[in-house]
């Protein structure tokens, strides 16, 4: 009496058994890939229903990248299984062949996987996007993001050079705000006219071309203090990423024009209204009085 199970193919020739086993492996891998693509499409559609925003597109790209990585793993597993079937699951050749394949793939994809994992979190969290002005490492010049893929970030520096930075080397991202920054410089001095000359000279020096102020520096307020001192407030708009350079130029000119009439170093404050409003809300929630606008 034949007691073999319906799935028992031992009665087939060896080559036929191998072909059927390989076919089953390929079929299972194909089904897994189809399921991954289905989940990817539905997940991306759910994210994009929130609106065609930059963050939504970044998350959609991250989901697609993750799906691609899982598909790679499925393909690798299928290749290893096929090798084992062809050489015999219990043979030394199959075991050593599979181990060799895994070893080679491990060395070949170690850096790649590190880049992919880092790129996934960069895109999913929206740390930066194409068009952002960023500093990604203290040793790398500031640049504009031209491409942000799963493996590499491409920067175009302000001097025109192109930098290809693997995502695993991105330790942090300093992203500058879009548009010009509103900066206020406070000066304690004896002569307001000397400060006014420095402000005028600063606007003249950078006016012809190159890096310049977003708008000409302007004295917005002067407070007369005791002892012949004056507190002068200067407002200036600077391009993103050039706050220190431009305000540094203005401060150097103030020092040169005021000389001994300058009391202490000028004070630089960022006038980002949104940040100030958030700061006030935090203080109010903690029960602390907000700072005065004086």
What is d(CA 181, CA 239) in angstroms, rounded to the nearest whole number? 6
- CB count in 10 Å sphere of residue 247: 23
Query: Does pLDDT of 179 surpass 80?
Result: no
What is d(CA 22, CA 260) in angstroms, rounded to the nearest whole number? 87
* Of 54-63, 194-203, 230-239, 245-254, the least confident: 54-63
Domain 133-175 has CATH 2.30.30: yes
Which H/E stretch holds residue 175? strand 174-175
| Residue range(s) occupied by CATH 2.30.30 in the chain | 133-175
Rounded average pLDDT over 267-272 = 74
Residues contacting 12, CB < 8 A, separation 6+: 20
Residues contacting 207, CB < 8 A, separation 6+: none
- CATH number given to 181-282: 3.30.70.260
- What Å distances lie between residue 69 and 37, 109, 113, 250, CA to CA? 12, 11, 9, 51
pLDDT digits (tens, 9 = 90+) for 71-103: 877 887 788 777 777 766 555 455 555 556 666
42/108: higher pLDDT = 42
What is d(CA 57, CA 50) in angstroms, rounded to the nearest whole number? 10
pTM: 0.53
């Amino acid at each position: 009496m034949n007691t073999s199970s319906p799935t028992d193919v031992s009665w087939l020739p060896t080559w036929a058994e191998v072909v059927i086993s390989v076919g089953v492996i390929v079929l299972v891998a194909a089904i897994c890939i189809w399921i991954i693509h289905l989940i990817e499409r539905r997940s991306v559609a759910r994210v994009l229903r929130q609106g065609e925003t930059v963050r939504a597109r970044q998350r959609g790209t991250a989901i697609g990248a993750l799906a691609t990585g899982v598909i790679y793993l499925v393909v690798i597993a299928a290749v290893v299984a096929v090798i084992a079937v062809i050489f015999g699951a219990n043979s030394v050749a199959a075991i050593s062949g599979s181990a060799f394949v895994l070893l080679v793939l491990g060395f070949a994809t170690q850096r790649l996987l590190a880049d992919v994992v880092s790129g996934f979190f960069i895109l999913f969290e929206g740390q930066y996007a194409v068009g952002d002005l960023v500093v990604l490492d203290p040793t790398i010049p500031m640049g504009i993001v031209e491409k942000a893929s799963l493996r590499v970030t491409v920067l175009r520096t302000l001097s025109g050079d192109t930098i290809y930075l693997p995502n695993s080397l991105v330790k942090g991202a300093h992203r500058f705000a879009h548009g010009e920054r509103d900066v206020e410089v406070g000066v304690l001095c004896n002569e307001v006219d000397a400060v006014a000359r420095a402000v005028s000279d600063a606007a003249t020096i950078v006016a012809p071309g190159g890096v310049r102020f977003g708008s000409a520096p302007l004295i917005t307020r002067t407070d007369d203090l005791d002892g012949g001192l004056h507190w002068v407030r200067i407002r200036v708009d600077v391009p993103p990423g050039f706050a220190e350079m431009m305000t540094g130029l203005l401060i150097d000119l103030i020092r040169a024009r005021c000389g001994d009439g300058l009391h202490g170093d000028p004070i630089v404050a960022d006038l980002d209204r949104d940040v100030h409003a958030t700061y006030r809300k935090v203080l109010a929630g903690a029960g602390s009085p907000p700072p005065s606008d004086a």
